[in-house]
Chain A
Amino acid sequence: DQQVKQNSPSLSVQEGRISILNCDYTNSMFDYFLWYKKYPAEGPTFLISISSIKDKNEDGRFTVFLNKSAKHLSLHIVPSQPGDSAVYFCAASASGNQFYFGTGTSLTVIP
Chain B
Amino acid sequence: KAGVTQTPRYLIKTRGQQVTLSCSPISGHRSVSWYQQTPGQGLQFLFEYFSETQRNKGNFPGRFSGRQFSNSRSEMNVSTLELGDSALYLCASGPGTGGAGSEKLFFGSGTQLSVL
Contact = CB atoms under 8 A, between A and B. Distances in A.
B102 A98 contact: no
B107 A97 contact: no
Interface in A63-77: none
Contact of B104 (A6, A49, A94, A98): A49
Contacts of A107: none
B51 to A, nearest CB: 12
A62 interface: no
Given A89-B42, A89-B43, A103-B42, 10 more contacts: A44-B43, A46-B104, A91-B43, A93-B100, A95-B100, A96-B101, A97-B96, A101-B35, A101-B42, A104-B42
B41 interface: yes
Interface string B20-61: 000000000001010100001111110010100001100000
Interface of A: 2, 4, 6, 9, 31-32, 34, 36, 41-46, 49, 51-53, 89, 91, 93-104
A97 B56 contact: yes
A1 B103 CA distance: 24
A96 B103 contact: yes
The 5 closest A-B pairs by CB, nearest first: A43-B107, A103-B42, A101-B43, A96-B100, A51-B101
Contacts of B40: 9, 103
Contact of B55 (A6, A97, A101): A97
A94 B96 CA distance: 14
